[in-house]
Structure 1
């Protein structure tokens, strides 16, 4: 954001206009802009107000009602940690007995807000002037937090009394994702080198980070929320109490607004798992489980086997615990389940005939280990019936197959 536009936005009249804005609607934005300009509002301020209104509306998915009192940048919002996950980050530092955390790349301040919200003292830094100003606004209700403009890596951590370090290096530039950790800003190597000064350290990275090259002394945890893989995080020292390895945190939203969760403790490597025939049920492990390379763990817990040695689908002959009986209270499932109705080698004409005979018009297509493009397949099938169907396209024992399935209800937690 332009610093001058931000300054105008933070003046009493600008802030009042932003606070009075209704929920953003793209179709009404032009008319709103014209009305504000006709009332004599500076065009730069109008643009800033509408941009923030749009970003606040988008941010409610991550921050809920807190978004209505926050400011954002587009890249900052895209990279910002969702509040439920940021709260988990904060809990690690609290559990380790940390009292002051330095957020060295604070961005808009999402994690810093979570740290301050659990009573931690926070020193937050960012090298971008406008971003640091926005973080200051977002942390305004936390007197034990301080935001500074500058290079966090140059901070004298010992002199500041910092006991824990958090960093979320920039992985976006102009809206585009950056996948190479060496191209992060700052580079990942430069950040984790600071653990020699402050052993208690967490670093948020992209979930696609390759396993090769991860530091041997880190717990790398992949995190998902409601089936969406959000991040991987490197934890060092006291904030990695279970030791190094690859771990998983699965979070699932509950109807009452709470969260169910399931963690897999870190391991250096996962054991092999049996590969066998397709059974009565098929399970797709959560994306965080797959990214962490913990499919074998999920297969063992489900009491199942893989349908193919190279594919992350687990099959069982009977319903596992959690689908046949409730999960322990507050526990999330590690996979999505399906009942197998039929299976056949992949053949377009035979599949079209099969689905049309059953009146299928709406088809959900899951795929793994196949080059078939679902959108193209739907056009080729040209289905028009009244029923709904679900198919899984994958390899079984190395050959392409279609598995016809019906989704199982999500496992319930004990009440």
Structure 2
């Protein structure tokens, strides 16, 4: 195994006062923070490492809240790390069924920390010795017990449950083909079939074609942002498809077959835009049933109803006017209504909202939303206000 120089990480761990000093310099001095630390007699490489950590911790707040202040990050590791509310919820589901878990491709170890905090015995593995050192640093920082090893995920013996978060980036950027994950998805699925309860985190853009028979596929959104997909395998699979939404501090779930189709009808008084997790999970028809709604085109995920129902799974707009989708006519109609602030949404038209906005030359004090879509096969522009 090659030697990995983690001396700067170890130096930072041993100097909490330097961590605080770097964070303060970054807040107060911004781009001049490196000069501030050098004037304080701190070696340039250590100052740079401390400032990088302070910057990453600040960015990590969106995923980890106040926990970020004590954790150690790399830029690539933070990008792939699971948001804490998601990791915490997943760990709780694991803990209801198993006492121990193998965390494959553990990265910075944040998911392993959630398992440990849920009371599970955790063995975490990563191929990168450097990354494993960061995972160890995070376990030490939180006081949680996690056994961390350097090794090949596909050769690691599994405990009674297993979780994996394969790398989805390479030197060329993000990999959208699961065959290019590290390790490849199919190889991981084969290995994880050796344990009774398993889950595998994926990018939210995963195609349904990659979902194995018998697995549960879950899409997760946090405050309307679809952050990941997760395959639940073996005894962990409970339903075919699940959309899990975290909003205003609460979780909401919608489940179903994922292959149903909503009824098609005419435009109505209210337009619903389903959450992205609902759309990716293929649960628009299940949501339509809840809302007594229908689509106006079977390929487009907008729903319509004459009844307004409160739901965490969609945003709702009151339909005010429906116009033909002709930019010149839209410019005139919007000008007549003195609409100067306009949110433009589109599905199924191929129109670039940014390019259309330039053509509209908006002026006026009023505000509205314009939805570009298809009603049947006709292109339309729907003027509406959020309900």
Shift of 1:173: 2.6
Corresponding position: 1:351 with 2:352: no
**Equivalent residues of 1:219, 1:266 under 8 A apart:** no
Could you give the per-residue CA deviations for residues 82-127 of structure 1, whole angstroms, max 9, x where no partner exists? 111111211121121x011110111111211111111111111111
Written as runs of structure 1 = structure 2, the 5 A alignment for 1:390-409 is 390-408=369-387
- Report what 1:224 is aligned to: 221
- Report what 1:412 is aligned to: none
Taking the aligned partners of 2:347 and 2:137, their CA distance within structure 1 comes to: 44
Q: Structure 2 unaligned runs (5+)?
A: none
- Report what 1:265 is aligned to: 255
Aligned mate of 1:337, from 279, 292, 316: 316
- Report what 2:350 is aligned to: 371
**Equivalent residues of 2:272, 2:316 under 8 A apart:** yes
Shift of 1:264: 2.2
Shift of 1:223: 0.8
TM-score normalised to structure 1 length:
0.88
Taking the aligned partners of 1:9 and 1:316, their CA distance within structure 2 comes to: 58
Taking the aligned partners of 1:27 and 1:236, their CA distance within structure 2 comes to: 49
Shift of 1:185: 0.8
Counterparts in 2 of 1:266 and 1:20: CA distance versus 1, 3 Å:
farther
Taking the aligned partners of 2:292 and 2:153, their CA distance within structure 1 comes to: 47
Taking the aligned partners of 1:394 and 1:27, their CA distance within structure 2 comes to: 48
- Report what 1:249 is aligned to: 244
Aligned mate of 1:201, from 182, 198, 205: 198
Taking the aligned partners of 2:177 and 2:28, their CA distance within structure 1 comes to: 38
Taking the aligned partners of 2:113 and 2:144, their CA distance within structure 1 comes to: 11
- Report what 1:58 is aligned to: 59
- Report what 1:297 is aligned to: 286
- Report what 1:99 is aligned to: 99
- Report what 1:413 is aligned to: none
Shift of 1:19: 2.7
Counterparts in 2 of 1:360 and 1:143: CA distance versus 1, 3 Å:
closer
Aligned mate of 1:274, from 254, 263, 266: 263
**Equivalent residues of 1:29, 1:50 under 8 A apart:** no
Counterparts in 2 of 1:210 and 1:31: CA distance versus 1, 3 Å:
same
Taking the aligned partners of 1:356 and 1:86, their CA distance within structure 2 comes to: 48
Secondary structure at 1:62 match in 2: helix
Taking the aligned partners of 2:200 and 2:349, their CA distance within structure 1 comes to: 34
Shift of 1:266: 4.4
- Report what 2:10 is aligned to: 7
- Report what 2:39 is aligned to: 38
Taking the aligned partners of 1:139 and 1:175, their CA distance within structure 2 comes to: 31
